[in-house]
Chains A and B, each alone.
Chain A
């Protein structure tokens, strides 16, 4: 245990800012997961792998001399079609089945993706350099890489666009209708099959954006997807489905929690602390539910 983070106020500020910027990025991935969970009742274990794949798209643009920031436009387009393709090939066979089946199916997709990425791109750790420089605050005591600020800004931008799209567009309305009651929506003439495909595509596109941002801010690697799946799962569990402000808040909360866990427990427990928190929250939720059930009795 190391409480250095509280001894120096500047480190506390640094940890909070780092956590919030990171959390906004997590929230974007989690929003995609919440969307498809709500609409299709599918928990996508391959979420993190879609993120990494998006990262590779930005990385390859960088390799060919294009600034990786353009990846946030190119990656979602490619990933959208890939998402639709995955839906047509696999997900549409499991969409109205048991949740367990969908977890197994997406788990399979996750393993397949990991191996394919490893096969195609190699096992090396890669990153895309943005050369965005650094912002110094408080007399150079707090440093914020501009790449992190850029990531947070783009994530917020995409989240806002998505919310507006969901509210205003025809497809957005159809998606929301399907989420509320798929059967009723079908009766009223919504092509739910198309809605499902679009939802999966939008989720993949969001993952693509997040992946491109991660390759600009951190590093990517074919086997690095799972922690992102877990984080988004955890954020959704805390926030609930279809609750965007909740997802944003719980994303940032998780980011800050991770940073502080990193300082206090050590970097080695960073991901571990997320898993622990997940278990605690699930137990707590169960406990609350069982109390409710007692009232009902």
Chain B
């Protein structure tokens, strides 16, 4: 009997402890709206994970300092619970479960990368938790019929199709030959599909279609083929390692190609590593600070970049900008829903139609942002070897004229 009593009191103590801990973490406590996020703070995505977190934090501070979120006549402030997902999809899914069922979070922010977003989306969908994500661009995220997933960025298949169009335009509207080298991950393969669509649309021809491994650090074979086939455009997508390897080996092997288009080529990183060798590379980007979008919180891209630099000590990559934009979307949706009901907030998110410093945001039924085109910039260096990204397409924002064709190595 005594044992039973002990067990009973132990269990009830646990229940009380558990219920209080849930209550203390519930979605809205006092004047706080608590969002949950699993972020890669360690592991292979840790640098972009940190960019994402910095973007989130910057927007939270800014919104809180500028009056917070007004719902039902009361002012609330944002707060985020972060967990480290170790760049591991399984861990990310576990943490999403934990955030929702243990910490009682009712609104989520996305992790970094398409792969991790893919792991988390089924969980948030199961619990009906609205998630605004800023770093998962894979097309497959938006074809699964998810109702609670919203992405502020343009889907991956739109990354490089602009480059093909641009090449055709430079070729007086005639079709071009395209060499492609894509890593075998969800994101790059989606970029590839977009390029294939563009090739078909323009009647162009693909001459090389290589798949790159995840341990990529040598693409000499692909480049030898490029030298032999002499395509009009070379398209490479394999995250930063793809961009770095391509630039290094193109310069070393003196591969002449009229147009080189890539993803993940931050000019700062490329030119720090390669100096003038990175010149003339075309890079697809979600955002650039010189774009002229505006909002009330960050004003515009240039102001955002300056403020970000002041706070974190580096020029914001687009990963940070889009993460900040996710918070602006949440704030807007809460205020329009005027409620914390998940269903209502979800409907308000679906009806979003706004401009932020990052771009226009309007969601398609699949959850992807359809109102923000990608930009292409070209790495341009001055004589001292200092390189900068200059927007060259779309023409509306172009701050420099596209240099085409890329000068031959023998003439540089």
Which A residues contact B (CB, under 8 angstroms)? 4, 8, 11, 14-15, 18, 22, 115, 118-119, 122-127, 129, 134, 136, 143, 145, 147, 214, 218-224, 226-227, 259, 262-263, 266-272
Contact = CB atoms under 8 A, between A and B. Distances in A.
A118 B215 CA distance: 16
A102 to B, nearest CB: 25
Contacts of A126: 244, 273
Given A267-B222, A271-B213, A129 B43 contact: no
B252 interface: yes
Contact of A267 (B43, B212, B249): B212
A136 B220 CA distance: 15
Contacts of A134: 252-254
Contacts of A222: 44
Interface string B28-49: 0000000000000011111100
B224 A267 contact: no
A150 to B, nearest CB: 12
Interface residues of B, number: 39
A122 B213 CA distance: 21
A268 B253 contact: no
Contacts of A119: 42
A22 B249 CA distance: 14
29 contacts: A15-B221, A15-B224, A123-B44, A123-B87, A124-B269, A125-B217, A125-B241, A126-B244, A127-B273, A129-B273, A129-B274, A145-B252, A145-B253, A218-B217, A219-B217, A219-B241, A221-B44, A224-B215, A226-B215, A227-B215, A259-B220, A262-B221, A266-B211, A267-B181, A267-B211, A267-B212, A268-B213, A271-B215, A272-B213
A136 B206 CA distance: 28
B45 to A, nearest CB: 6
Nearest to B241: A125
B102 interface: no
Nearest to A225: B215
B46 A122 contact: yes
Contact of B228 (A8, A115, A227): A8
Contacts of A11: 224-225, 228
A141 to B, nearest CB: 8
Which of B216, B249, B275 has the largest count of A CB atoms less than 10 A from its CB?
A: B216
Interface string B192-214: 00000000000000000011110
B221 A219 contact: no
Contact of A118 (B46, B225, B245, B248): B46
A267 B47 contact: no
B307 interface: no
Contacts of B342: none
Given A134-B253, A219-B244, A263-B221, A115 B213 contact: no
A179 B280 CA distance: 56
A145 B222 CA distance: 15
Given A123-B47, A127-B273, A267-B221, A218 B245 contact: yes
B332 interface: no
A123 B240 CA distance: 10
Contacts of B253: 134, 143, 145
Contact of B217 (A18, A115, A224): A224
A25 B252 CA distance: 18
B46 A123 contact: yes
A119 B84 CA distance: 13
A145 B213 CA distance: 22
A118 B42 CA distance: 8
B210 A267 contact: yes
A263 B226 CA distance: 12
B244 A127 contact: yes
Contacts of A267: 181, 210-213, 216, 219, 221-222
Contacts of A266: 210-211
Given A134-B252, A147-B252, A267-B181, A218 B218 contact: yes
B44 A268 contact: no
Contacts of B249: 145
Contacts of A214: 217
Nearest to A227: B215
A18 B223 CA distance: 12
B184 interface: yes
Contacts of A129: 248, 273-275
Nearest to B223: A143
Contacts of B245: 125, 218-219
Nearest to A226: B215
Contacts of B218: 22, 218
A4 B228 contact: yes
A143 B220 CA distance: 10
A96 B396 CA distance: 71
Contacts of A14: 224
Nearest to B48: A123
Given A122-B47, A267-B213, 5 more contacts: A118-B43, A123-B46, A134-B252, A145-B252, A267-B219
Contacts of A127: 244, 248, 273
Which of B44, B221, B274 has the largest count of A CB atoms less than 10 A from its CB?
A: B221
A187 B240 CA distance: 56
B370 to A, nearest CB: 31
A272 to B, nearest CB: 8
Interface in B252-289: 252-254, 269, 273-275
A143 B245 CA distance: 16
A124 B252 contact: no
Contacts of A218: 217-218, 245
B218 to A, nearest CB: 6
A227 B216 CA distance: 10
B43 A123 contact: yes
Nearest to A222: B44
Which of B213, B269, B274 has the largest count of A CB atoms less than 10 A from its CB?
A: B213
A204 B225 CA distance: 37
A227 B42 CA distance: 22
Contacts of A226: 215
Which of B219, B224, B225, B228 has the largest count of A CB atoms less than 10 A from its CB?
A: B224
